[in-house]
A and B are shown apart, each in its own frame.
Chain A
Amino acid sequence: MIRLLFSSIYWRSILILTKASLIRMNKNSILGSLWALIQPFVHMCVISYIFSVLLKQSNETMVKNLAAGLPLWNFLSTSLNASSMSLISRDNILKRYRTSKTMFIISDIAINLFTLGCSILAMYLLLIIFYFKSLSIIILLAPIVIIPFIISVLSVSIAIGFLTPYIRDIPQIINLALSTLYWSVPIVYPYTIIPESKRFIFELNPLFLLIRPMQVLFVEQRFPDMMHMIKASLVMIVSIIVSYFIYRLLSRNVIYYV
């Protein structure tokens, strides 16, 4: 598998699979992929409007916090769900061709990565429209700051893709876990409202450690501290190692279970 990651044909294959899936997804839509930009933009505009006009609260921190966390959370959630079905839904192909199985999982994640890119673009637009005066150009570094997060999601997704054929309840378990964990990460509430004495609990949550650098970038308008990036990178390394072992353990016989 590691050898494949350095093969240009492998990545070209993923690109072809992703392109085909994107066309299938947007088959009945006039605006097509533009919806990936419009949806989060409208969603965040409504939230900003409710806070600033209806509730007459200048809750800039809250909106910026959401703008940083929501696209990442949606990427995590859709990627884990999609990867759980990646191999099962392609049983016909896998049982007839000797082909790489990971490329199907990665292509499913690539579609979500495209949506994440559009969402972040939508958040930039939103911040420019509503908070132009307090914006720093540093927020353009978001794609760099979220690298550990993306690689972690990708590795966990590969593990889930290979795990689900063996344990068919994985999609339900993922949904339950995500709906619970959603409240354990400060996305709909700002980190600043958490009492100092309780913050160490959040530091034990790997999802928080992965999302935190992006929140620092958007909310505090500065590049995350070295410590933030090291913690996120450590979570990434652990995710890669654990996922690789799951892959090694399950990939050989997965064909009998899909």
Chain B
Amino acid sequence: MLDAHIGEELHSTKNKSSIEISNAYVEGIDALKRAAGIRDFILGKGSLKSSAIPILHDINLSISHGERIAFLGQNGSGKSSLLKVIAGIYPLKFGNIKISGSIAAIIEMGIGFEPEISGRDNIKLALVYTNMLHKYSKALEEEIIEFSELGEKIDWPMKTYSSGMVSRLAFSISTIQDPDILLLDEVFAAGDQHFLHKAIKRMENKFFSTSISILVSHQHDLIRKTCNRCILLDNGRIIEDGNPEKILKIYEARDV
């Protein structure tokens, strides 16, 4: 019932979903050059003033309904940062970003869980983090519990869970969202062997049914299978943009 309701909401906005980024420049701070405190500063172990380092520059990007995009590049190339810019976690220093549609960013699952409280209470906590608390209902909670297959263990403190159980719950909560724009950072499925098949199926469904899906991944097969556009980043810049087969060839050639 609840899913159907959210589905109706989405249907009306989904074709208008878009992401427009122009001349974006993102600057972070170089934590290594900054003194951890006044003592370190006096001992000459760093500066008091933080030095800025560019994370992303000259980003111009236009994404529209129906696109399933992979961000590709070596570690530190800016893939995750660009994803966080789109998610609204990292602000731009210069440039513009215009997003139409609701966003769900699954960057790492299970972060912020409290081991002392029950799985049920952790569902609410996770909904707080993802700004989804307004959608909380008993039906939604039951849907998450049912998918996670935790049964009565949902009322046990989370510290008693195995890592597989934690992954199952984290995955079930993260994927309950039905956004217009889905952002995934190196996460596609989680859980133990038995759960993995179910998780991949759900994520594939989400990925294909969402208006815009963006994936950061090093799994070339996954990119070929799921994406229809690929963006290659290097040193914080977009250097190639095109169909996955072509971009993966360029990337593989550079990698060699």
Contacts and interface: CB of A to CB of B under 8 A. Distances in A.
Interface of A: 9, 12-13, 16-17, 19-20, 23-24, 27, 90, 92-99, 103, 166, 168-169, 172, 252-253, 255-257
Nearest to A167: B48
Contacts, number: 78
Given A94-B89, A99-B131, A257-B29, 4 more contacts: A17-B128, A93-B129, A98-B103, A256-B90
**B38, B87, B88, B128: which has the most chain A beta carbons within 10 Å?**
B128
A103 B128 CA distance: 10
Contact of B105 (A24, A97, A252): A97
A256 B131 CA distance: 21
Contacts of B107: 95-97
B133 interface: yes
B117 to A, nearest CB: 5
Contacts of A94: 89
Nearest to B118: A23
Nearest to B105: A98
B117 A23 contact: yes
A158 to B, nearest CB: 18
Given A17-B128, A252-B91, A169 B37 contact: yes
Interface string B187-198: 000000000000
B38 A24 contact: no
Interface stretch (B108-116, B144-152, B238-246, B248-256): B108-116
B125 A17 contact: yes
B133 A92 contact: no
A27 B118 CA distance: 13
Contact of B89 (A92, A252, A255): A255
B131 A98 contact: yes
B105 A92 contact: no
Contacts of B29: 256-257
B171 to A, nearest CB: 15
Contacts of B28: 256
**A27, A98, A103: which has the most chain B beta carbons within 10 Å?**
A98
A224 B90 CA distance: 48
B223 to A, nearest CB: 22
B124 interface: yes
A169 B38 contact: yes
Contacts of A255: 89-91
A96 B108 CA distance: 7
Interface string B122-160: 001100111101100000000000000000000000000
Interface in B87-101: 87-91
